[in-house]
Structure 1
Amino acid sequence: MRFGEQLKSSLIKDWYFYYISYQDLKDSLKTPYESEPAYRVTSSLSVVPHGPKPKRRPWTADDEQRFVSELEKELDKVYTFQKVKSQEIVRRIQASEKEVNEVLSRADAPDGQAEGPSEDDFLLLEEDLSDIIADVHDLAKFTQLNYTGFQKIIKKHDKTTKWVLKPVFAARLRRKPFFQDNYDAFIIKLSRLYDNVRTRGNPVKGDSSAGGKQQNFVRQTTKYWVHPDNITELKLIILKHLPVLVFNPNKEFSMDDTAVTSIYYDNTDTWELYQGRLKKTEGAEAIRLRWYGGMQSEAIFIERKTHREDWTGEESVKARFKMKEKNVNAYMSGELTVDKIFEKERKDGKRSEKDIASDEALAREIQYRVIARHLVPVTRSFYHRTAFQLPGDARVRISLDTELTMTREDNLDGKKRAGKNWRRMDIGVDWPFSQLPAEDVERFPYAVLEVKLQTQAGQEPPDWIRQLTASHIVEAVPKFSKYIHGSATLQPNRIKLLPYWAPQMDVDIRKPVTHRFGIERPGQSNDISTTGNLDDDSDDDEDSSTGLPGAHQNEDDTEELRRLRAARDAMEQHDMDQRRDYGTVTNGEGPNALDIEERIAAQPLPEDDYPLYDSDDEEDDLEEARYTGGWHYYSKWLKQRGTQLGKTTLDWAKMLIPKPKATPMPTNGPSMGVPKVMGEVKRFKAPKGKRIHVPVRVEPKVQLATERTFLDWLQFSILLGSIAATLLNFGDNVSFAAAWCFTIIALVSLFYSMGLYMWRVKMIRKRRAVTYHDKIGPTVLCIGLFAAVAVSFGVRFAGGEWKGGLKG
């Protein structure tokens, strides 16, 4: 969507005059024409250019000074409004807090001393808090939209005038940082107040760190990406259903308290832990060290995550124990024994011997694996986490990780990043880590939402959860891993196997609104402004509304053009409203709108639609053989080069053969009455020398089904062979010919099924997303059987025996 359309559809009518005047700034980039343009108004009230396009005069220093002055006024206007509105929200939250405390004090008062609050009192408080939540949402959208507007207009200025203003204006933005306000403090206060009001003064209490130990529950975890434009809105939506989980409510909120940092270990020669976690092999492990808060944190958690396949009946396990930061280096190198780590805990007697023994066994296993497998720190992940959960109740837990950043911790490439220490010390929680070189840092463009549900078997999740996960705010990315993404991005020359989401990072995950879901102001309507003063953005210099080369006319003509534009826009809006009322708007806006899955299903599938991800399997096999070495690697290399030479020769031969080519059909229009939405269906190709790993669920029944299919083919081949042997031994010359046909078909089906079975087993073992269904074999088999029967009847008919049989 062009920014002009986004601004028009997103601005709040009551705040209209405080937004950036984007269209005025865009018009001020146009210098006068050297000669007046010619234009004419047609009978259909449309304005069309007439004559050659005139030239504009060059951009001068006076023009630059004028534009910068207008830009400064707009920045001051937006900054002042944002600051005033933010202070107003602070005062409203303070006033609401007093009202909530007063109502709750009446509810807690002994009987007879004060009149208890009524249901209307709580409803009024809930409505007031909902109005404040809507204000926070609107202010966050206001800030984001205006910041984008300034970035867009500066980019357009530099492109149009060839004068570079971006670095200078960036310094001015830093002096008036209206876009750097963090709304997490508002969200935490509103969450506590809203939870008290929603529960009528009886919020759920319990240990904030408790995860719950319910039995006979099924855990379901799903991960989503969230665009930065939707982060604040998402937090406000969730807090109306779940409170923000605060571990220490008596402490003043600080961003450092929400910081979570993890350092992952791996072998830099084989990357075995990366490969195992990506392929989700049974028993795959991940070893990491994690701490909460800043670098001064003394408590370091040593964790091990073990993946278990579903068919085993076991669940994936995450186990950890805690130790002091000063002991980590000695523990990882083996100098500090496990007995000494837990020696003090045993003396204190604060924990049971069973728990200490369990942690001790875990510590021994992790220490052994680190030393035996030569594991070293490779990747660090950093993010700020906001958790939503009822204290002591883990049935619904939602966490949102923002400002996600991955950095390198290894000592490869001749750089001592961490040295002999277990972590590098040149960074901490000072996001966005601007001191690091570009090759050492990967700033993830989205937030990561993780929804964990513990529901009884057969029970549906809460309705608001289903609406949230189906809304335009989130994009589902199953099995997403921060470690996998960071390692694949930061080690492009060493890691050849990529996760399936890697080629999709340049795809915009923002989607049109498919159903009414989000923040709503009680008793009011946030109607979208439909004013005609804002035109769509355009990358060229022509006026996008009239088709004129510009808008430099005399006052009468300009007024006439504006009147015609307003009339045209009003007619188009009226037509759109009518089509929306009758349900004919299907691009995600009307009552009969189709969601993304329905639009994809309605589109015709190309012939080569499967698989969605194209990878070079031979390159991956060669890379795996490289680790083995020896004759196995050289044979793979010779085979690959021979295959490439054969493909090249065949391609050249096809090019030399003349053949007609089909006329390409346009793909921009709608198909089957469904508008085509760009970015929904796309084939992704792995970079040269790399392969995309697509998650493939493999269970024992898959292997059994493959074996059962082969046995069916084998049974059929034996049956055909038996028929051939019978005809050969007890028949005449005609039967002899038919016996040969059936024998050939039996042998072909036997070898074909055996080769197909071996190929399927190999692909299943490697978890490859290939075409497993057989589209050729059954068809060829039926044709062969028909040919064999036809030969039998044909030979007998040609020999006259058929006619003789009829005469007899």
Structure 2
Amino acid sequence: MKFGEQLRSSIIREYQWYYIDYNGLKGELRDATGPLAANGSGAKEWTEEDETRFVGKLETELEKVHTKQQVKAMEISRRIAISEREVKEVVNRLNERGLGEEGPSEEEFLLLEEDLSDIIADVHDLAKFVQLNYTGFYKIIKKHDKLTGWHLRPAFDTRLKAKPFYKENYDASVIKLSKLYDLVRTRGNPVKGDSAAGGSQASFIRQTTKYWVHPDNVTELKLIILKHLPVLVFNASKEFEQQDQAITSIYYDNPEKWDLYEGRLKKSEGAEAIRLRWYGGMKTETIFVERKTHREDWTGEKSVKARFAIKEKNVNSYMKGELLPAAIFEKARKEGKKSEKAIAEDERLAAEIQYSVLKHGYKPVCRSFYNRTAFQLPADARVRISLDTELTMVREDNLDGRARSGDNWRRMDIGVDYPFSQLPPEDVVRFPYAILEVKLQTQVGQEPPEWIRQLISSHLVEAVPKFSKFIHGTACLFPSRINLLPFWMPQMDVDIRKPVTHDFGIRRPDISGTTTTSDDEEEELDSDDEELDAVRRGAGNGESSRHGARLRAPATDMEGQTVDLPTANDDFPIYDSDDEYDENYELEEARRVGGWHYYRILFSSKASAAASGAWSVLKYIIPHPHGSEIPRSDRLQTLFRNSRIQTKRFSAPPGKKIYVPVRVEPKVYFAAERTFLGWIEYSIYIGTIATTLLNFGDHPTPTAFWIAGIFTFLAIFSLLYSVGIYLYRSRSIRNRKAARYYDRWGPSVLCVALFVAAGFNFVYEGRERKYW
């Protein structure tokens, strides 16, 4: 959809006279007044007078949008303040009523709830208005620079900073609305208690899933969630500040081997992650030292995150081994605020982390920063939702000779001043999406809440299971040192915005349908935008099945929205298998090792290349049938018209490999062994038949000898085949490769050969006995 069409279809009635005049600005670009261009196109040249006229109109449009945004934001602030007074007045009447006195009526609470819902809808509409106009300004500037040859973008960035209508942060409004809405929803009796409560249930299932959220949908998502869960505020008596939401972590690893990175990426049993975390600004004195340990399900244990607190002034001496754990907790023992058992557990954890850091040479390598908005009932941990925005990864190492952190445990030239514009591009990665994490703790057999099911199957989120900030940051910040990439890296080049799948979103309480999230939100595409056009072509490639899947009914399970329509050939996954990532990957790894290992891998790669070439020649020479083209369905014709549709397969950059998660349990090894033993048994039977025909016949003949030879060949071939398959599968399982563990041709070939051998034996034996 062209942006002009999207703008017309997304107009909200209240703002209809305040949107950017996109078509008018496009008309200005066509009204050049200079002489005819020398290229013979018949178009006129763009002059300085034309530029002045265009910039004047652009300034007028920017002033119009900025003024409307400011006025509406002030109106929303006043409405929230008025609603806050009204809610407090009603709640106070409820709490101060005497015996026999009637409190506020249900109708009063309903009116307050409707008023707050209307304010929430206003915030949603304003966020959509700002986002659409911001996109419109940059699209018209891009069109101007392309058509006229005059570069307006740098100068217009300065004008935007002077009138930053797009930088309005709604977090303070969201927190206030959340508190008020929770008061009204609970009729003045909000849930109170420890936010960590609920974890002591005897029988529960904990499900954690991560999603990416496009920046265009962040505010809308917050408003939807706050109508069901309040924003979790740890210090309600303190006035909200932006840095209160900041969370910063320093991740450690061995920069030579990257043990922790690969362990967390492969989800190996016992894989650890060590990080130092603090909340708020750089002046925070309390630092948490954390260790996350991954446990496989088959072990019967759960993955564990353990941590202890330490003063910032002691971190350096602790990480260097100069400060022993016993000294860290000496003061806690004297004060007696914690039990001796809890202190002993923290001390043991501190000793283990210190030992690992010193033994393996772990150093600070990566920092992650984000602002977190958490949603949860204070005394109910069944549903926990966190939304991390402005996610940024920063280098903390000194590997290339630059002293970033030096001898300190963290660099001090940055704080929580997102977007960290003072850093060079090679030191920082700004993640383009927000991270939504949904944690469900339900009783066995219990379904999650319906609104959660609708949320995670909506167009607002994109499921990315097992996403890790540490893994993503390390892979992006150290491209020359990291060769094994996470499976979601190719997805970074795909626009995750999706068409609306079902009616789900923000609605005004009285006028149904005036404000919903089901407005037309297809891709913002101009016919002359090469970059977005390439994205659309990508959608025609890899996204075609995804769009088709999203037009179906909502998903009915937790991960339903990640299932795509079947491709034309389900024989291969969407990601290339480990053998197909990069044919030179293992060779490059072996070259680093050197010695006989390198020569063995070199010979193996050359032999594989020769075999592949011979197979390609045979396929080209031998005629084989080709599939017939199937006419495009009406639905696909409507979606993509005559554009080409094909399934896209992602591949890693040269010299690197994408790691596809493979779950390996002990029973997988046993299954491979059982299959191998089954083939051995088959081979023994065939060998027994061959030996019987050869040695125990009454009158040995040449026919019997040749029949026995066929069965002997089958027995030997099945033995060699089974050993080869077993070795291949065992190696793939040990290396957690996304290989094909099914056998497509082996059983069929051996069964056909056995049938042929038995048929020959029957025919020749019949001829020997003169039956035919």
Is the TM value for this pair above 0.5?
Answer: yes
* Residue equivalent to 1:406: 393
Quickly say closer, same or farther: Cα 1:728–1:522, change in 2 above 3 A: same
Cα pair 1:206 1:392 within 8 Å, conserved: yes
Quickly say closer, same or farther: Cα 1:672–1:508, change in 2 above 3 A: closer
Cα pair 2:463 2:562 within 8 Å, conserved: no
* Residue equivalent to 2:650: 684
Quickly say closer, same or farther: Cα 1:687–1:16, change in 2 above 3 A: same
Q: In 2, distance between residues paired with 1:386 and 1:536? A: 28
2:683 counterpart of 1:717? yes
2:41 counterpart of 1:22? no
In the alignment of these two chains, the number of paired residues is: 740
Q: In 1, distance between residues paired with 2:619 and 2:751? A: 34
Gaps of 5+ in 1: 37-52, 542-585, 804-808
2:620 counterpart of 1:633? no
Residue identity matched to 2:19: Y
Q: In 2, distance between residues paired with 1:331 and 1:300? A: 12
Cα pair 2:587 2:605 within 8 Å, conserved: no
Quickly say closer, same or farther: Cα 1:602–1:493, change in 2 above 3 A: closer
Residue identity matched to 2:355: Y
Q: In 2, distance between residues paired with 1:738 and 1:655? A: 32
2:432 counterpart of 1:432? no
Gaps of 5+ in 2: 530-546
Residue pairs, 1:592-611, within 5 angstroms: 604-606=567-569, 609-610=572-573
Residue pairs, 1:35-50, within 5 angstroms: none
2:322 counterpart of 1:335? yes
| 1:610-638, Cα deviation, whole Å (9 max, x unpaired) | 363344376554566567x4635323443
**Deviation of 1:644 (Å):** 6.7
**Deviation of 1:411 (Å):** 0.3
Q: In 1, distance between residues paired with 2:178 and 2:24? A: 40
Residue identity matched to 2:714: I
Quickly say closer, same or farther: Cα 1:311–1:656, change in 2 above 3 A: closer
Q: In 2, distance between residues paired with 1:427 and 1:540? A: 40
2:612 counterpart of 1:612? no
2:238 counterpart of 1:256? no
Q: In 2, distance between residues paired with 1:626 and 1:209? A: 51
2:671 counterpart of 1:705? yes
**Deviation of 1:285 (Å):** 0.5
**Deviation of 1:249 (Å):** 0.7
Quickly say closer, same or farther: Cα 1:66–1:454, change in 2 above 3 A: same
* Residue equivalent to 1:459: 446
Partner-residue secondary structure (3-state), 2:17: helix
Partner-residue secondary structure (3-state), 1:386: strand
Partner-residue secondary structure (3-state), 1:764: helix
Partner-residue secondary structure (3-state), 1:505: helix
**Deviation of 1:716 (Å):** 1.2
1:360 to 322, 341, 347: 347
2:125 to 132, 138, 141: 138
Q: In 1, distance between residues paired with 2:128 and 2:145? A: 26
Q: In 2, distance between residues paired with 1:633 and 1:367? A: 36
Q: TM-score, normalised by structure 2?
A: 0.89
Q: In 1, distance between residues paired with 2:276 and 2:553? A: 50
What value does the CA root-mean-square deviation take over the aligned residues? 3.2
Quickly say closer, same or farther: Cα 1:180–1:611, change in 2 above 3 A: closer
Q: In 1, distance between residues paired with 2:644 and 2:475? A: 27
* Residue equivalent to 1:486: 473
Quickly say closer, same or farther: Cα 1:679–1:446, change in 2 above 3 A: farther
* Residue equivalent to 2:728: 759
Partner-residue secondary structure (3-state), 1:138: helix
Q: In 2, distance between residues paired with 1:658 and 1:168? A: 64
Q: In 2, distance between residues paired with 1:694 and 1:383? A: 27
* Residue equivalent to 2:406: 419
Quickly say closer, same or farther: Cα 1:153–1:663, change in 2 above 3 A: farther
2:250 counterpart of 1:284? no
* Residue equivalent to 1:571: none
| 1:118-169, Cα deviation, whole Å (9 max, x unpaired) | 1111111111111100100110111111101101110110011110000111
* Residue equivalent to 1:84: 71
Partner-residue secondary structure (3-state), 2:771: helix
Quickly say closer, same or farther: Cα 1:540–1:393, change in 2 above 3 A: closer
Cα pair 2:485 2:656 within 8 Å, conserved: yes
1:642 to 606, 611, 614: 606
Cα pair 2:368 2:391 within 8 Å, conserved: yes
Partner-residue secondary structure (3-state), 2:306: strand
**Deviation of 1:11 (Å):** 2.1
Q: In 2, distance between residues paired with 1:127 and 1:710? A: 68
Partner-residue secondary structure (3-state), 2:757: helix
2:708 counterpart of 1:739? yes
Q: In 1, distance between residues paired with 2:498 and 2:509? A: 25
Q: In 2, distance between residues paired with 1:210 and 1:289? A: 25
Residue pairs, 1:186-225, within 5 angstroms: 186-208=173-195, 212-225=199-212
Q: TM-score, normalised by structure 1?
A: 0.86
* Residue equivalent to 1:66: 53
* Residue equivalent to 1:583: none
Partner-residue secondary structure (3-state), 1:220: strand
| 1:448-467, Cα deviation, whole Å (9 max, x unpaired) | 01111111111111111111
**Deviation of 1:602 (Å):** 5.2
| 1:76-121, Cα deviation, whole Å (9 max, x unpaired) | 1100100000011011111111111111112112335853111111
Quickly say closer, same or farther: Cα 1:663–1:710, change in 2 above 3 A: closer
2:497 to 495, 510, 516: 510
* Residue equivalent to 1:557: none
**Deviation of 1:61 (Å):** 1.2
| 1:387-422, Cα deviation, whole Å (9 max, x unpaired) | 001113211111110000001001011111111111
Residue identity matched to 1:633: H
Q: In 1, distance between residues paired with 2:437 and 2:645? A: 24
Residue identity matched to 2:375: F
**Deviation of 1:736 (Å):** 2.9
Residue identity matched to 2:738: A
Residue identity matched to 1:357: A
**Deviation of 1:649 (Å):** 5.9
Cα pair 2:291 2:305 within 8 Å, conserved: yes
**Deviation of 1:258 (Å):** 0.4
**Percentage identity across aligned positions?**
59
| 1:623-662, Cα deviation, whole Å (9 max, x unpaired) | 66567x4635323443355347636864996799698997
**Deviation of 1:215 (Å):** 3.0
Q: In 1, distance between residues paired with 2:591 and 2:572? A: 32
Q: In 1, distance between residues paired with 2:176 and 2:380? A: 21
Q: In 2, distance between residues paired with 1:788 and 1:654? A: 27
Quickly say closer, same or farther: Cα 1:775–1:781, change in 2 above 3 A: same
**Deviation of 1:504 (Å):** 1.3
Q: In 1, distance between residues paired with 2:604 and 2:692? A: 46
Residue identity matched to 2:18: Y
Partner-residue secondary structure (3-state), 1:146: helix
Residue identity matched to 2:125: D
Cα pair 1:508 1:679 within 8 Å, conserved: no
Residue identity matched to 1:759: Y
| 1:351-395, Cα deviation, whole Å (9 max, x unpaired) | 111111100000000000000000000000000000001113211
Residue identity matched to 1:781: L
Quickly say closer, same or farther: Cα 1:591–1:760, change in 2 above 3 A: closer
1:730 to 696, 703, 718: 696
Q: In 2, distance between residues paired with 1:710 and 1:496? A: 34
| 1:16-49, Cα deviation, whole Å (9 max, x unpaired) | 111111111112110269999xxxxxxxxxxxxx
Residue identity matched to 1:708: R
Cα pair 1:9 1:528 within 8 Å, conserved: no
Q: In 2, distance between residues paired with 1:450 and 1:232? A: 16
Quickly say closer, same or farther: Cα 1:798–1:2, change in 2 above 3 A: farther
Cα pair 1:33 1:55 within 8 Å, conserved: no
Residue pairs, 1:144-183, within 5 angstroms: 144-183=131-170
Larger Rg: 1
Q: In 2, distance between residues paired with 1:129 and 1:537? A: 35
* Residue equivalent to 1:109: 96
2:313 counterpart of 1:326? yes
